[in-house]
Structures are given as structure tokens and as C-alpha cells.
Structure 1
């Protein structure tokens, strides 16, 4: 990625990465999505809900054009992720999958409404740290997050083969 990311390029990347993510998720049997990870870690359902939490928070910040949302942002990453896991682990798979689709649609809609300048100028978002680049902040909570968890999903695909 270049610092000169265009809105068209960002949307293309976001859609392509999401399509790759969804194709991999679709390959995993629904029953297997509920099982703990191979190392006893998060299930596929947990990972999807985790990513959805970050995307939902990003949608809220984009809608408000401000740094707002959960107080969990102020926690250390591991503690935040643990709280997210505790919150979402009891949700049924269908609810997690439905919410993931709805939140992504909301995220896509919010990004489509941004201008080219919005993607690059942090001052257009109240309270965002001055060293943030908006498109990079959005990417880190969406398609870059998919990339971080692809190895987790690929373990499930390898288990099924």
C-alpha cells in the first residue's frame, strides 16, 4: 500500500480482501466453526465475532466523524480482546454471521461516503490522534485484520482436508 491510497483503490482492496475472507469462511463447515481452535483457542465463530467488533467500532467512529466508542479501546490489547471474547462467545453462530454481514455492509457504506480528503486528513475526524491516517486506521480494523487471522482459519481448512 502506498501513502497515496485513493478511495477507489481502498474500496477495491476492502471488497477483495472481504471476498477472500468470506470464501475461506464458507469453506469451513458450520459445526466446525463452533469448535475450539486446534490449540484450544478461539473458534472460527469467535474470530468472526472478534473482527466484527472492531469493524462495528470503526463504523461508529466514521459515522460520528470522531474518536468515540467503547471504553475498551483504552485497555491493553490482550485485555480488550479477552473482554470482546467473553462478550461474544455466548452468541449463536447464525447471529454472529448475520451481524458480520450487516456490519461489513455498514462499513462499506460509510467508506463509500468518505471523500478522498477524508481518507488522508485526520483533522476531519474529531479527536483522532494526529499521527493517524484515516484510511490506515480503517484498514487496520478491517482488511488488515482479516490478514492477521487468516492463518487461524487456514488451520481449520487444513484440519478438514
Structure 2
């Protein structure tokens, strides 16, 4: 059974999908291939980056919900997710996704919101509330995690500056 905390987390994710859709509309497809929201990265590149990380996490959550071991990340085994290799992992993900179309990347990230919400709702209640159930949450129960922090805190200021014509 899905707990109230799981339903609340799923609703926060769905609310952020609405925010994301408004941001996509604000940027406009005609600007999404221009560099600027993140240095040389385009809005498409940034969206691919967000989708790539989301698509690492979702299968991990889905596997745990099914009682299976979490799958390994898609990058080469010699790279690790920690701070020391994070730039290398991001570079690997960017290289892997560089030829994806704008439409594909936007659809992928947009679909990820509902998939993430559903995965969290599918977890056993005790797992959803366990601060140690998922290493990537850093000791925070998944129902208390912030799945949009990376966008809002790290990337949104640059996107806003770019949209306003200031250096990102």
C-alpha cells in the first residue's frame, strides 16, 4: 500500500513536471539549440543531462520496488558516481546523448516525471521511509528527497540569466 508520504512525494514530482513544462514553453523550441544556459551547453544538452541522471535513478527505484537488485549505472565500471569522477561521468553521459534529437530528449525528460512518481509510489512503505534504502539519497528517505533540487539550484539561475540576455 502506498503511504501518505509516498503520495505527497509523487505529487511534488508531478507539480515539478508542471513547472518544467512551463519552463520549456518559456524557453521556446526556437532557442533550445542555442548555447548559453550552461556555458556551451544548449537547453537540449541540459535537458539530456537531467534526463540521463533521472534515467539512472528510476531503474534503481523500480528494481527495489520489485524486490530485485538495483541495476548498475550505464557508464564504464572504472568511473564512479562520487565527486572525484562526477565530471567524467557527466562527460560520458553527454557524449552518449549528444546525437539525440531535441524532441527525443524533451519527451524523455517529460515522461521521467510520471515514471519517477510511479516508482516511488510502488515501493514498499518501509523501504520508502528507510533513510538507508538508496545510497544516492545520502541518508534521506526517498519520500523526503528533493528530485528537482539539481535543476532548481544548480541550473535554473543560468537558464534565467540566459533568457534575460545575461551571461549564464
TM-score grouping bracket, smaller chain normalisation = 0.7 to 0.9
RMSD of equivalent CA atoms: 2.9
Q: Is 1:120 aligned to 2:126, yes or no? A: no
Match in the other structure for 1:100: 109
Could you say which residue in structure 2 is the equivalent of 1:132? 139
Residues 63/39 of structure 1: CA separation in 2 closer, same or farther (3 Å cut) = closer
Give the Cα separation in 2 of the matches to 1:82 and 1:33.
Answer: 20
Question: Comparing 87-96 with 33-42, which one deviates more in the overlay?
Answer: 33-42
Contact 1:33 1:45 in 2 (8 A): yes
**Post-superposition, which runs of at least 4 consecutive aligned residues in structure 1 deviate over 6 A?**
none
On the 8 A contact 1:46/1:89 being kept in 2, the answer is yes
Superposition TM-score, scaled by structure 2 size: 0.75
CA distance in 2, matches of 1:155, 1:135: 31
- Secondary structure of the residue aligned to 1:74 is coil
Whether 1:143 aligns to 2:142 is: no
- Structure 1 residues not aligned, in runs of 5+: none
**Alignment partners' CA distance in 1, 2:35 and 2:137:** 40
Structure 2 unpaired stretches of 5+: none
2:88 matches 1:79: yes
Cα offset, 1:98, TM superposition: 1.4
Q: Paired residue for 2:57?
A: 58
Of residues 28-37 and 10-19 in structure 1, the stretch that sits farther from structure 2 once superposed is: 10-19
Q: Is the alpha carbon distance of 1:157 and 1:56 closer, same or farther for their aligned partners in structure 2, counting shifts above 3 Å?
A: same
Distance 2:20 2:120 in 1: 19
Name which of structure 1's ranges 73-82 and 89-98 shifts more when overlaid on structure 2.
73-82
Displacement after TM superposition at 1:56 (Å): 0.8
Q: Higher helix share goes to which structure?
A: 1
Residue matched to 1:69: 72
Note the C-alpha offset of 1:71: 5.0
Distance 1:39 1:150, change over 3 A: closer
**CA separation of 1:134/1:54 partners in 2, compared to 1, >3 Å: closer, same or farther?**
farther
